[in-house]
């Protein structure tokens, strides 16, 4: 059952995704580059091959807004458009994930997130 808080987080994620797309377009980013890098943060899931704790840490690091915002600020400070555009791709990915209901991961397992259970575990609860 989806809580009101999760619905708000999904709407917020959708807003972040759309804002990222609009900003990327406004800065004349290359859409082939966008498509090529959009799923790059999901490579962090490979850390689950080590164990769930390391996997959750890597996934959460790649799916928190902190690093892409630092990258964006650095890009603005250095007048480096590539950094800004890369940050917008990253931010868009995070927003997209949140809009789909994928929250930050628990070290107790990949299917337990800050927005509730996902995958087979979520379907089993219904």
Q: Outline where DSSP puts E strands in 17-115.
A: 105-106, 109-113
Residue 37 has pLDDT above 90, yes or no: yes
Angle, helices 4-26 vs 81-99, to 10°: value is: 150
Q: Residue 49 pLDDT more than 60?
A: yes
Residue 68 has pLDDT above 80, yes or no: yes
pLDDT at 78 over 80: yes
Question: What is the signed CA dihedral for 104, 106, 110, 116, rounded to 10 degrees?
Answer: -70
pLDDT value of residue 124: 59
Residue with the two structure tokens 């070290």: 107
Predicted TM-score (pTM) above 0.75 = yes
The predicted structure's pLDDT at residue 110: 76
Residue 60's Cβ-count burial label (10 Å; 0-12, 13-18, 19+) is middle
Q: Please determine, for residue 39, whether its predicted confidence score (pLDDT) is greater than 90.
A: yes
pLDDT at 69 over 80: yes
Per-residue model confidence as pLDDT tens digits over 108-119: 877 877 767 776
Helix, coil or strand: residue 112: strand
Q: Which token pair is 115?
A: 């927005």
The percentage of the chain sitting over the pLDDT mark of 90, rounded to a whole number, equals: 75
The answer, yes or no, to whether residue 122 has pLDDT greater than 70, is: no
């Amino acid at each position: 059952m989806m809580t009101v808080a999760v619905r708000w987080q999904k709407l917020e994620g959708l807003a972040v995704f759309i804002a990222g797309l609009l900003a990327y377009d406004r800065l004349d980013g290359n859409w082939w580059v966008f498509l090529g890098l959009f799923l790059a943060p999901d490579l962090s899931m490979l850390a689950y091959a080590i164990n769930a704790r390391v996997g959750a840490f890597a996934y959460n690091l790649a799916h928190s807004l902190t690093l892409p915002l630092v990258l964006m600020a650095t890009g603005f400070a250095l007048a480096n458009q590539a950094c800004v555009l890369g940050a917008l791709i990253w931010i868009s990915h995070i927003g997209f994930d949140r809009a789909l209901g994928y929250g930050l991961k628990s070290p107790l397992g990949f299917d337990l997130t800050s927005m509730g259970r996902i995958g087979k575990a979520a379907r089993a609860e219904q």
